[in-house]
Chain A
Amino acid sequence: MPDSTPHPSPLELGTPDKTFLDSNELILNMGPQHPATHGVLRVILKLDGEKVLGVECVIGYLHRGVEKIGENRTYTMFNPYVDRMDYVAAVSNGLGYCETVEKLLQVEAPRRANYIRVILTELNRLASHMLWLGTHALDIGAMTPLFYTFRDREEILKIFEKYCGARLTTHAFRIGGCQYETYDGFERDVKTFVDCVPPKIDEYEALLTSNRIWVERTKNVGKISAADCKALGVTGPVLRASGVKWDIRKALPYAAYSDFDFEIPVGANGDTYDRYLVRMQEMRQSLRIIRQAVEGLPEGPIMAKVPKVMKPPAGEVYHSIEAPKGELGYFIVSDGSTQPYRVRVRPPSFVNLQALDLMVRGQLVADVIAVIGTLDIVLGEVDR
């Protein structure tokens, strides 16, 4: 087994006898424990005074070996593990995994199950974006939107709790459909939620969108062009804010998304302000989808005929969904047995985080925190 030979870090200062006073450059460490890095992320900044020359991210502090675990659990047993990756938007993870295994098994979830999946996934997208908004605003200094968004997120988590018993790591879906039928009052709750939330989103916008200080902190900060996004593999709101109108829900539809009418918000500049606007618009579009789904919720079974002991035929399949953070993909290789041969999770935050270096070059130190916030990374997903 070849050993890993250590390579020098690209931010190495040079020969050991050169002290930091000899050069203009300062290496600053935003350690794994930091209020603003949204998890255990270590960012090493190379600074020239206040300007950032380069950034190196050290990740892996939350690596739990989820892919290795996947090879040692059956398909059904692995389902709860998947929630723990992007723990902020757990339902999306579950949706991606269940759909990929359903593809392998060649079963299709029934229409009602797909509608329930869409409703819960879009609620989850709202919850994820609300959390993002609160924490991002807090990093930039506005401490009040955090409490407002968490308050509204509570309502979503209550719906999840009533539906499947858990608020955060929901394990809401099963391979083949949904296990739980919607509870009595589910539709009423969701409709009430959808009616109550738009004024709240307007309130968040009123606090931030035209606030001069917010605009100055976010405009032209962390710019990334569409070409760079595509080359780096960045997806999700970051890509859309750079001007690329691409959303897997429209390009390669899954679940019941082709039944619904919604728009894809696109930004123009690719800076932090545009990402903020894109995510706010996405929240409104999610509400639109939820309203359509809940009004058109069909009757029918919620679970397809799936064998108790799942042995998908040998083969491999890749399927991805539009998670709140970007393209969440699952590449599952099956060898015909009850346990997957290889489960690969393609995490959007991992790939998006690569773009951090490009986005903060030439910016100031205080912008690094704004850019990390705007990328919307969750370390559970980055590290798996």
Chain B
Amino acid sequence: MPEETKSPLPGSAGEPEGPAGKPQAGGAQSAAAAKSAETTSEKPPAVAKPAGPVAVPWTSPLVANLKTRYGSGVSEASTYLGQNCLVLDSSITHEILRILAEEQEFDYCVDITAVHYPKREKPFDLVWILYSFPRNQRLRVKTMLREQESFPSSASIWPGANWLEREVYDMFGLRFEGHPDLRRILLPEDWRGHPLRKDYGIIEQDEQWVQANLGIESGQ
């Protein structure tokens, strides 16, 4: 099943998820189009360029199934640049992940990661990227979490989620309930701070740890 569909429909419903206040999709694209129209005179007068990639609502039996079961919990199901994405309510996400794994044959958890949008009400985006071997389909599942909110661990569904969730915990501080061994994985055990959060500066470090363990003033 091919993944690439390049058919953005201008002006259709739905926006790609993004931080509030950023220009709509297409702004950059039309700027580039205008620039190239200026510089190359042999191009025909600019046909209205498509407004750029827009998320298209995704309809499929899977989505229909989930929507009938969970209704508003499935806040959004869209396709952006040919990649399917489900945005779910955090309370039902764990169940839906289980359904996806067991009923819908998404047996391979490719990745679990998070994105931090500090200015949002629910700052954390927890993202699962799933793949189904039988169907050769990829799916992205997202949910939004509040600060200090914890989430049930997917390690019981896919054992491979173990280290991936540990890394999310290490880098973002999101806790996973029911995780067999939730510890820091890449940073030392007693490091303080969660580096991939946006309020952790790029040259910030846990000075106490550095001084205690490396015997130097600072790693900079």
Distance of A231 Cα from B29 Cα, bound (Å):
40
Check B129 against A329 for contact (C-beta < 8 Å): yes
Q: A106-B53, A252-B136 are in contact. Are A233 and B109 (CB under 8 A)?
A: yes
Interfacial chain A residues near B158, Cβ < 8 Å: 231-233
Check A311 against B28 for contact (C-beta < 8 Å): yes
Identify which of B17-25, B60-68, B88-96 touches chain A: B17-25
Check A350 against B32 for contact (C-beta < 8 Å): no
Check A312 against B19 for contact (C-beta < 8 Å): no
Interfacial chain A residues near B42, Cβ < 8 Å: none
Distance of A3 Cα from B140 Cα, bound (Å):
30
Contact mask B136-179 → A, CB, 8 Å, 1/0? 10101000000010000000001111111001011101010000
The residue of chain A having its C-beta at the shortest distance from the C-beta of B161 within the complex is A233
Check B110 against A329 for contact (C-beta < 8 Å): yes
Identify which of A111-119, A142-150, A165-173, A314-322 touches chain B: A314-322
Say how far B17's CB is from chain A's closest CB, in angstroms: 7
Say how far A305's CB is from chain B's closest CB, in angstroms: 7
Residues of B in contact (CB 8 Å), total 72
Distance of A313 Cα from B195 Cα, bound (Å):
26
Identify which of A176-184, A295-303, A335-343 touches chain B: A335-343
Judged by a CB distance under 8 angstroms, whether A246 is at the interface is yes
Distance of A337 Cα from B24 Cα, bound (Å):
12
Judged by a CB distance under 8 angstroms, whether A230 is at the interface is yes
Check A344 against B81 for contact (C-beta < 8 Å): no
Distance of A67 Cα from B31 Cα, bound (Å):
29
Indicate the size class of the contact surface on chain A: 35 or more
Interfacial chain A residues near B31, Cβ < 8 Å: 311
Check A327 against B110 for contact (C-beta < 8 Å): yes
The residue of chain A having its C-beta at the shortest distance from the C-beta of B115 within the complex is A342
Partner of A344 from B19, B24, B113, B181 at Cβ < 8 Å: B113
The residue of chain B having its C-beta at the shortest distance from the C-beta of A306 within the complex is B32
Interfacial chain A residues near B188, Cβ < 8 Å: 60
Interfacial chain A residues near B80, Cβ < 8 Å: 315-317
Say how far A325's CB is from chain B's closest CB, in angstroms: 15
Check A346 against B110 for contact (C-beta < 8 Å): yes
Say how far B158's CB is from chain A's closest CB, in angstroms: 6
Interfacial chain A residues near B189, Cβ < 8 Å: 4, 6
Q: A4-B183, A65-B195, A329-B129 are in contact. Are A315 and B25 (CB under 8 A)?
A: yes
Question: Which residues of chain A from 228 to 280 have any CB-CB distance to chain B below 8 Å in the complex?
Answer: 228, 230-234, 244, 246, 251-252
Judged by a CB distance under 8 angstroms, whether B126 is at the interface is no
Partner of B160 from A72, A335, A344, A351 at Cβ < 8 Å: A351
Judged by a CB distance under 8 angstroms, whether A158 is at the interface is no
Distance of A71 Cα from B107 Cα, bound (Å):
31
Distance of A327 Cα from B131 Cα, bound (Å):
12
Check B136 against A251 for contact (C-beta < 8 Å): yes
Check B202 against A331 for contact (C-beta < 8 Å): no
The residue of chain A having its C-beta at the shortest distance from the C-beta of B26 within the complex is A313
Q: A230-B133, A335-B19 are in contact. Are A1 and B194 (CB under 8 A)?
A: yes
The residue of chain A having its C-beta at the shortest distance from the C-beta of B174 within the complex is A2
Q: A63-B187, A335-B19 are in contact. Are A318 and B83 (CB under 8 A)?
A: yes
Judged by a CB distance under 8 angstroms, whether A215 is at the interface is no
Interfacial chain A residues near B167, Cβ < 8 Å: 350
Judged by a CB distance under 8 angstroms, whether B27 is at the interface is yes
Say how far A136's CB is from chain B's closest CB, in angstroms: 23
Interfacial chain B residues near A4, Cβ < 8 Å: 169-170, 183-184, 189-192
Instruction: Pull 24 A–B residue pairs with CB atoms less than 8 Å apart, ordered by A.
Output: A3-B192, A4-B183, A6-B189, A60-B187, A67-B171, A72-B202, A106-B29, A232-B158, A233-B108, A233-B160, A313-B29, A314-B22, A314-B24, A314-B25, A315-B18, A318-B140, A329-B110, A329-B111, A331-B127, A336-B27, A337-B22, A342-B115, A344-B111, A346-B129
Using A2-B175, A10-B180, A315-B81 as known contacts, list a sample of 7 further A-B pairs with CB atoms less than 8 Å apart, ordered by residue number in A: A4-B183, A106-B6, A106-B81, A232-B159, A311-B28, A314-B19, A316-B140
Q: Top 3 nearest A-B pairs by Cβ distance?
A: A233-B160, A60-B186, A314-B18
